[in-house]
């Protein structure tokens, strides 16, 4: 019993004398790269939108405008985060995509879809309030 009390006292004293370090702010590192060649972003938006809009599963769950906004968000994020050379190397006209790149595409598209869904729901809520 005495050993437990000594241990608790030691932990309390030791815990009280440790100085808390302020949290270190992490700075986001943004790679600087050249803008994509003119017209390429628009081409890939159109191509990706066509793929999504032609999918019957997508047609059942969202309007074409929502699909378009998701695509614009996704391709814009690709352009913001990666160079044109990276895009050509990993996504441009590839039949198969590496698993980690496939996950990146999924995560990016999903984040844009969640963002678009929130916008759509906010508009519906505003429309409902106005009609009251």
pLDDT tens per residue across span 23-41: 555 455 455 788 899 999 9
Whether the predicted pLDDT of 99 surpasses 50: yes
Residue 46: inside a domain, yes or no? yes
In-domain check, residue 44: yes
In degrees, rounded to 5, the angle at the alpha carbon of residue 38 between the alpha carbons of residues 37 and 40 is 70
pLDDT at 7 over 80: no
pLDDT of residue 54: 94
| Short-list 8, 2, 73, 5, CA closest to 41 | 73
The count of structural domains within the chain is 1
- Whether 1 is in a domain gets the answer no
Indicate whether 107 pLDDT > 60: yes
């Amino acid at each position: 019993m005495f050993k437990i009390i000594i241990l608790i006292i030691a932990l309390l004293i030791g815990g009280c004398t440790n100085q808390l370090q302020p949290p270190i702010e992490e700075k986001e590192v943004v790679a600087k790269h050249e803008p994509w060649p003119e017209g390429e972003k628009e081409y890939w938006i159109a191509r990706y939108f066509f793929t999504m809009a032609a999918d019957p599963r997508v047609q059942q769950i969202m309007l074409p405008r929502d699909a378009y906004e998701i695509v614009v968000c996704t391709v814009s994020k690709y352009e913001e985060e990666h160079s044109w050379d990276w895009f050509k190397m990993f996504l441009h006209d590839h039949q198969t995509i590496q698993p980690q790149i496939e996950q990146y595409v999924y995560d990016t598209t999903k984040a844009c879809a969640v963002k678009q869904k929130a916008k759509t729901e906010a508009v519906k809520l505003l429309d409902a309030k106005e009609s009251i």
